[in-house]
Structure 1
Amino acid sequence: MLLLRRHLLPLHRAASSLPSPIYHRAWLLSTSTSASTAPFSLEDYLVAACGLPPAQARKTAKKAFDESSKRSQKAFEELCWSRLKSASNPDAVLALLSGVGLSSADIAAVVARDPLLLRASPKNIAPRLLALRDRFGLSTPQIARFLLVGSRALRSCDVGPRLEFFISFFGSIEQLLTIMKNSESILQVDVERIINPNIALLREWGLSVRDIAQLCSRNARLLTFSPERVKELLLRAEGLGVPRSSRMFKYAVVVVADISKEKVALMLKFLKSTLGCSESEVAIAVSKIPTILPLSEELLLRKIHFLIKEAGMEPQYIVERPVLLAHSLEKRLVPRHCVMKVLQAKGLLSSKMGFYSLVQIAEKTFKLKYIDCHKESVPGLADAYATGSTGVVPSGIKFEHLKMFQSFSLDGVSATHSH
């Protein structure tokens, strides 16, 4: 009895310190459940205590029971729902969430994302929740965001040391939260046994700590792989013809971590046939900009079509400048080509300035030199470019210049043309 009192008293204080409608709904359901002989229903609980709509509650309850497909249903229920024979454990969890300041809406979102949180041990998660606020200084919105992507880690391990490590490694809790959206499991991986050996291995291959942080911000799962797999990926990246000393090497590592050897082979074959070049030429192009490999064949075909048919480039020219294929078609290639045609027709652009050079200019510099300085001579150009660079382009294989440029009268020369 004394042990039970010690366990329940902190929960009561946490709930009473910051009243929440969701806690009171949970308490009412708990008392009504204990007063009846009806079996506990997770679906009903999600509606009455957590405020989920019935349809969402039904879907969430099903998701909870589908979490482990490798176990038999009976074994899974015995393992995961031993604390859900009544509402007492879920009530305690809701009280803890309310106690760290989460609103009813926050709690409903968290539970809908991870219903197994309701069966977590309050004794285990209570200090971990409090540490988010008191030790790491997370605000209530940050705690809510953390739980949406990190509740599984919270209920499965002591996240404190891992949070401390990753906040230091990535530079801020905000950066970590962003990374966790794409790699929820990162806090569940052992730092000493997996993370640190992987970092050491990457550094042996010439990557700096900053490089590794940037690399993992694109694909944090890389740090969670076994060191043996990471070494295999490093060898594959080098096999693309990208030397370890190249600034592109870290991007090559990200690429091979995302796509299979078979996918790489298919893309090399596709580029060779589409651009009509040799295997060695394709290999050189990929070594210069390996980030084109994960792109779809359809997207690459659209870019190549535009560069050849609209920009007037030869396939060999594109092969020698593969960075053109890495730029966004809708946000950079098409809008800048439109601007080039407008300025050329107005006599405001030197004939020596080619499209490739215009594409390579940083966005801020491009706007300053080729948009802002022509506000008086070409009214509306800035607005047209701003609209065009948001990506409003037809999705078909054929292209026409963006419609907003059709309004320019260019001394009798239309800024648009069709095939």
Structure 2
Amino acid sequence: MLRFRKLLPLLRSAAAAAAAASNPASHTLSSLYLRILPLSTSAATTRFSVEDYLVAACGLTGAQAVKASTKLSHLKSASKPDAVLAILSGVGLSRADLAAVVAAEPELLCVRVDNLARRIASLRDRVGLSDPQIGSLLLAGGATGLRTCDIASRLEFLIPLLGSYEMLLKTVKRSYRILTSDVEEVIKPNFALLQECGLTVCDIVKANPRLLSVSPERMKRYLHRADMLGVPRCSPAFRMAVCTVACTNEGSVTARMEFLSRTLGCSMDKILVAVGKMPTILGLSMENLRRKIEFLVTKVGLKTQCIVESPVILCYSLEKRVVPRHSVMEILQARGLMKKDASFHSLITRREADFVARYIDTHKDMVPGLADVYNAACSGKMPVVPESIVEKRYGRHNISCRCKVNIEP
């Protein structure tokens, strides 16, 4: 373009002189001017393509590039992102790792290069992290923290608090906000409030690490709402109560309790007792609760009182646990291998390995294909149960029972 600007006055002068002299060469110069002009215009309008850069330089897929480009529309050249990628490559990130980091946090490409270099150096020098550890932190979600601030001071506090760097990674994967929250004004006050309730660091991290990054005033409101549910602070369920109210507004909690009272036909006092045992049921949608209660009552044959007394049963997945295990129960009862009055609660609350060992493996020879039926049901497929699986003999008579399990859409 610059070369053309220098050449343009010469071409104009030459063309004008040729025209004035009626020289046949004027036609040649004019044609040359017209041929060069479109080329210069095309060069001037060629712009930096963010999407193309994300695919070619960062290794993103087309779909990822389209999504990420919405946050990078202000980028006009590759100079800054190239420098950022060079720094990230310096901690040992592969091309696939770079793609994962950029896809998760595209705006990292816009960070001032000197700031990014200083923050990474701080992680090495102050915190003592190796390059592979820094890379792991970026992949776990630490890229957002690194983009916004120097996270070294937070890591100096969090790693000893959580017990290990590995525990920090697990926490960051669940909530990167812990890396961007102020230690003195947010994290420490929240930690102190939760400790007053008898909760340990392990309790908090397992429950919801985001609790450490909300404002202390909001944390106080969460604790008050958990108290209002009647869950004692000394109870193991209090941790679940705090997490539930933190994820659900007050109106929704009240609506779910009223729904459970109507659907299960019991008083609010009894619902409060059930909530005290399993507060997380208030975090389930009313449609979710309705479908589970309907199946347990109409298909399994449980009394609503049993559900109120053992609300944990409402927390299991209908499609992946309740229905598959009920189908196994029906088959075994039809073959006379399980009592008709067997406790469904005992069956549903067993750990997966225990359930398979006790009810699938034990009967695999007597009921061939039972494992296939169970695995199909667990994967969300409607199991087709052969007659031979549920067929049983009473003297000379054969009685067949076909298991049918229907789940509402």
TM range (shorter): 0.7 to 0.9
Counterpart selection for 1:115 from 106, 122, 136: 106
Superposed, which structure 2 residues align to 1:260-409 within 5 Å? 260-392=249-381, 402-404=383-385, 408-409=389-390
Residue-pair matches, total: 355
- Residue number in structure 1 paired with 2:222: 233
> In the TM superposition, what whole-angstrom CA distance separates every residue of 1:353-380 from its partner, at most 9, and x where no partner exists?
3212222223222222222222222222
Deviation at 1:153, TM superposition (A): 1.2
Q: What is the SS of the residue equivalent to 1:249?
A: helix
1:137 maps to 2:130: yes
Deviation at 1:145, TM superposition (A): 6.5
Deviation at 1:147, TM superposition (A): 4.7
Q: What is the SS of the residue equivalent to 1:408?
A: helix
8 A Cα contact 2:324 2:378, kept in partner: yes
Q: What is the SS of the residue equivalent to 1:93?
A: helix
1:416 maps to 2:397: no
* Cα 1:130–1:379 shift into 2, 3 Å: farther
Deviation at 1:305, TM superposition (A): 1.0
Higher relative contact order (CA 8 A, sep 6+): 1
Deviation at 1:46, TM superposition (A): 4.0
8 A Cα contact 1:338 1:405, kept in partner: no
- Residue number in structure 2 paired with 1:220: 209
- Residue number in structure 1 paired with 2:3: none
8 A Cα contact 2:204 2:211, kept in partner: no
Cα distance in 2 for partners of 1:405, 1:184 equals: 50
Q: Which amino acid aligns with 2:145?
A: A
5+ long unaligned stretches in structure 2: 1-42, 393-398
8 A Cα contact 2:292 2:314, kept in partner: yes
Deviation at 1:171, TM superposition (A): 4.6
* Cα 1:327–1:147 shift into 2, 3 Å: closer
Q: What is the SS of the residue equivalent to 2:284?
A: coil
1:125 maps to 2:116: yes
CA RMSD of aligned residues (A): 3.0
- Residue number in structure 2 paired with 1:202: 194
Deviation at 1:167, TM superposition (A): 3.8
Deviation at 1:406, TM superposition (A): 5.8
Deviation at 1:262, TM superposition (A): 0.6
Cα distance in 2 for partners of 1:187, 1:89 equals: 24
Cα distance in 2 for partners of 1:404, 1:252 equals: 41
8 A Cα contact 2:319 2:380, kept in partner: yes
Deviation at 1:49, TM superposition (A): 4.2
Computing the radius of gyration from Cα coordinates, the structure with the larger value is 2
Superposed, which structure 2 residues align to 1:35-50 within 5 Å? 41=48, 43=50, 45-46=53-54, 49-50=57-58
Deviation at 1:405, TM superposition (A): 6.6
Q: Which amino acid aligns with 1:209?
A: V
- Residue number in structure 1 paired with 2:148: 156
* Cα 1:101–1:407 shift into 2, 3 Å: farther
Q: Which TM-score applies when normalising by structure 2?
A: 0.76
8 A Cα contact 2:59 2:98, kept in partner: no
8 A Cα contact 1:132 1:138, kept in partner: no
8 A Cα contact 1:345 1:410, kept in partner: yes
Q: Which amino acid aligns with 1:332?
A: R
Q: What is the SS of the residue equivalent to 1:64?
A: coil
- Residue number in structure 1 paired with 2:395: none
Deviation at 1:409, TM superposition (A): 3.3
Cα distance in 1 for partners of 2:343, 2:298 equals: 16
8 A Cα contact 2:264 2:304, kept in partner: yes
Q: Which TM-score applies when normalising by structure 1?
A: 0.75
Q: What is the SS of the residue equivalent to 1:63?
A: coil
Deviation at 1:252, TM superposition (A): 0.7
8 A Cα contact 1:133 1:143, kept in partner: no
- Residue number in structure 1 paired with 2:184: 192
Q: Which amino acid aligns with 1:346?
A: R
5+ long unaligned stretches in structure 1: 1-35, 66-80, 394-401
8 A Cα contact 2:320 2:380, kept in partner: yes
1:211 maps to 2:192: no
Deviation at 1:125, TM superposition (A): 1.3
8 A Cα contact 1:47 1:57, kept in partner: yes
* Cα 1:290–1:391 shift into 2, 3 Å: farther
Q: Percent of pairs identical after alignment? A: 49
Q: Which amino acid aligns with 1:313?
A: L
**Range that drifts further, 86-95 or 354-363:** 86-95
